[in-house]
Amino acid sequence: MSDYDVDLFVIGGGSGGVRAARVAAQHGARVMLAEEYRVGGTCVIRGCVPKKLLVYASRFRAEFEDAAGYGWTLAQSSFDWPTLIANKDKEIARLEAAYTAMLEKAGVTVVKIRAAVADAHTVQMTNGKRVRAATILIATGGAPTFGDPIPGIEHAISSNEAFHLPSLPPQVVIQGGGYIAVEFAGIFAGLGAHVTLVYRGENILRGFDDDVRAHLRMDMEKHGIRVFTGCKVAAIARSGSRFSVQLSSGNQISADCVMFATGRAPNVSRIGLQETGVAIAKNGGVAVDEYSRSSVASIYAIGDVTNRVNLTPVAIREGHAFADTVFGGKPTAVDHVNVPTAVFADPEVGVVGMTEAQARARLPQTDVYKAMFKPLKATLSGRDTTVLIKLVVDGLTDRVVGCHIVGEGAAEMIQAAAIAVKMGAKKADFDATMALHPTTAEELVTMRKKSASYAREAAE
């Protein structure tokens, strides 16, 4: 018998930790998992899932408006925030219970408590109990950060609180230009709020393709979202239930809610890592090798706490690969190249692979194919919107190295396109694929002209 109480102790019950625990147990390991808040973690409890439900809710307004051009007359619509939040909470509770039941069915012991590493093989829980584990997995995720302290910062909320507001704020100021900022801008605006987005850089979604950034901003502004760039929130003053938001540019905005979406930091503190000698990387995450092993041989880390690619499916892959490596006798490294990603903004963004700028910097020759066009649905609805589809191609090998889509259904389209990009498909393979008409995605296989001139003009 082993000297340890368990073979694996997982700290953190988010998507990555849950997957690792379940698969390790299925490999025959004795597994214990500690979660201090709710099983499901950021994605299920206060991230991807509730966010997408809010995104769905926010899109009905446009659907109702668009219906008129198709002959529908609708009764006066109205929206009730508490109903949405209550229904969302019910679904999240159902998912949490399902996650817990699934873990227990796999034989994992779930403890709802805060746990920390005491030494290379010991976990200390806040109830005083200690558990000896052959392997410890850190899967503690990340948490919102608020940037530099400014006067009145205590009035700002993060996305965590946005999911539990008692009512829909009529006027919202959001600071940040990343995923969470643009997604919540779309949610609040779609539900009827006046939204101002404040971003310190030149344009939102830094790191994304420049055409994508420009297109999204243009459409967000068309949909009534005010975007201020090149400035920051300098101070927030409270007056009753309202706030006065002072910008570094000198502008002053009134708001009922001020939300900061200024990034997330790995949860590495107060869990005994430094004391145990677990090295922290320059980016603030736990430093790990390709098998997610930390600088202490018996301690591994996966997901957002490693600050590699902070996306749920990546954490799940890392958790699964860890369990296969350590308990399944099958060393598996996770491939972080060509990970597709979507931003559920209004309009939606879906991307995989290199941006045009990255390709031009890395490849001797880059070809770019772009199409910008009014989607068929917008003809009768009269909606002022355009879709952007862009392929970035290695000019020497003809391989499609990047695919970028902005418009309705972008996330669904990019998941399929990502298979081709991951397989190393060439532009000729895209061209050889028969178009499916009439769809937005058909443009992926019908673009013939290289860049500069758009294949289908917006006016078409």
Using CB under 6 A, which of the segments 78-86, 177-185, 360-368, 384-392 binds ligand NDP?
Answer: 177-185
Nearer to ligand NDP, 145 or 252 (CB): 145
Residue 431: CB atoms within 10 Å: 14
- Long-range CB contacts (within 8 A, 24+) of 295-298: 296/120, 297/120, 298/120, 298/121, 298/133, 298/134, 298/135, 298/136
Q: Provide the minimum distance between the beta carbon of 237 and ligand NDP in the complex, in angstroms, as a whole number.
A: 18
Using CB under 6 A, which of the segments 9-17, 174-182, 329-337, 429-437 binds ligand NDP?
Answer: 174-182
**300-319 mask for ligand NDP (x: CB under 6 A)?**
----------xx--------
Q: Rule CB under 6 A: is residue 392 a binding residue for ligand NDP? A: no
Alpha-carbon span 115 to 107, nearest angstrom: 20
Alpha-carbon span 109 to 31, nearest angstrom: 6
Q: Which amino acid is at 408?
A: E
Q: Are strands 226-229 and 349-353 parallel, antiparallel or unpaired?
A: unpaired
Is 336 marked active-site? no
Q: Rule CB under 6 A: is residue 178 a binding residue for ligand NDP? A: yes
- Long-range CB contacts (within 8 A, 24+) of 415-419: 415/340, 415/350, 416/441, 417/340, 417/350, 417/352, 417/441, 417/444, 418/338, 418/340, 418/352
Using CB under 6 A, which of the segments 217-225, 326-334, 335-343, 396-404 binds ligand NDP?
Answer: 335-343
Q: Of 1, 148, 452, 453, which lies in the binding site for ligand NDP, with binding defined by CB under 6 A?
A: 148
Nearer to ligand NDP, 213 or 427 (CB): 213
Using CB under 6 A, which of the segments 28-36, 53-61, 194-202, 219-227 binds ligand NDP?
Answer: 194-202
What are the Cα distances from residue 267, in Å, to 125, 157, 247, 285? 17, 19, 30, 8
Using CB under 6 A, which of the segments 21-29, 243-251, 257-265, 271-279 binds ligand NDP?
Answer: 257-265
Q: Rule CB under 6 A: is residue 176 a binding residue for ligand NDP? A: yes
- Long-range CB contacts (within 8 A, 24+) of 457-460: 457/372, 457/373, 458/372, 458/373, 458/374, 458/386, 459/374, 460/373, 460/374
Q: Rule CB under 6 A: is residue 446 a binding residue for ligand NDP? A: no
Q: Provide the minimum distance between the beta carbon of 105 and ligand NDP in the complex, in angstroms, as a whole number.
A: 29
- Decide: residue 331, CB within 10 A, 0-12 exposed, 13-18 middle, 19+ buried: exposed
- DSSP letter for each residue of 15-38: HHHHHHHHHHHHTT--EEEE-SS-
Q: Of 232, 308, 390, 427, which lies in the binding site for ligand NDP, with binding defined by CB under 6 A?
A: 232
Q: Rule CB under 6 A: is residue 174 a binding residue for ligand NDP? A: no
Q: Of 114, 132, 155, 200, which lies in the binding site for ligand NDP, with binding defined by CB under 6 A?
A: 200
Q: Tokens 């609040």 appear where?
A: 188
CB within 8 Å of 182: residues ≥ 6 apart: 197, 204, 205, 216, 220, 343, 345
Q: Which amino acid is at 232?
A: K
Q: List, in sequence order, every residue forming a beta bridge with 399; answer none if it has no partner.
A: 426
Q: Provide the minimum distance between the beta carbon of 12 and ligand NDP in the complex, in angstroms, as a whole number.
A: 16
Q: Of 6, 39, 342, 371, which lies in the binding site for ligand NDP, with binding defined by CB under 6 A?
A: 342
Q: Of 69, 107, 147, 284, which lies in the binding site for ligand NDP, with binding defined by CB under 6 A?
A: 147
The DSSP secondary-structure symbol of 455 reads S
Nearer to ligand NDP, 177 or 328 (CB): 177
Q: Provide the minimum distance between the beta carbon of 51 and ligand NDP in the complex, in angstroms, as a whole number.
A: 7
Q: Which of residues 276-305 bind ligand NDP (CB under 6 A)?
A: none
Nearer to ligand NDP, 169 or 340 (CB): 340
Q: Of 163, 208, 327, 344, which lies in the binding site for ligand NDP, with binding defined by CB under 6 A?
A: 344
Contact of 329 with 401, CB cutoff 8 Å: no
The DSSP secondary-structure symbol of 108 reads P
Residue 363: CB atoms within 10 Å: 18
Q: Rule CB under 6 A: is residue 402 a binding residue for ligand NDP? A: no
The active-site residue out of 121, 164, 336, 437 is: 437
Q: Which of residues 58-117 bind ligand NDP (CB under 6 A)?
A: none
| Residues acting as catalytic residues | 437
The residue ranges that bind ligand NDP (CB under 6 A) are 147-148, 175-181, 183, 199-201, 206, 232, 261-264, 310-311, 341-344
